[in-house]
Chains A and B, each alone.
Chain A
Amino acid sequence: DAKTTQPNSMESNEEEPVHLPCNHSTISGTDYIHWYRQLPSQGPEYVIHGLTSNVNNRMASLAIAEDRKSSTLILHRATLRDAAVYYCILRGRIYGGSQGNLIFGKGTKLSVKP
């Protein structure tokens, strides 16, 4: 599985935007960029994923560099509930029995200050 690099930790103020970076210089053409987060004492939770184009959903936005070697997860207004470990994961295309399993790294621990 291709590797990703994320900062160990980041801090944000409540109600301010947060930009969480991820480098994935060895990404292959069929790898999707997935973001998950893990709140304290909970299971991982899907946030967003994309392939080439920027993506938006109710939780966040994903900005993907043109060369796909990096991406940024954007939380538009951080809340205290967004304090979690955020994982950037490359995942291959699913077809038949090939699932491109999620392989978690250490992620970025986001702290949100009131």
Chain B
Amino acid sequence: GAGVSQSPSNKVTEKGKDVELRCDPISGHTALYWYRQSLGQGLEFLIYFQGNSAPDKSGLPSDRFSAERTGGSVSTLTIQRTQQEDSAVYLCASSLVAGQVPYEQYFGPGTRLTVT
């Protein structure tokens, strides 16, 4: 079946502009994660959605970052007034959940964001 998809694959934007990144998780996966990865660095957790529960936004680096998940499926990560330090690869992952414990995460190909 289809894996996790993300769009766009690449985004170049000017400092100060807003951007929207989209993630389509695997069908049936109730858990959805957003991560950020700078060049040569590890994964930085941003936000977690699980079913209809309130999302865990503890990883969002500033109030310029927000995310929503509509209908328990597609998610959009929005970055307002982009800054050069926002340049990174933004990865989305989804997983099944058993009880309160998610299974392994499947990653999308990522969106490479460059802020000029």
A and B part of one assembly: no
Residues of B within 8 A of A (CB): none
Residues of A within 8 A of B (CB): none
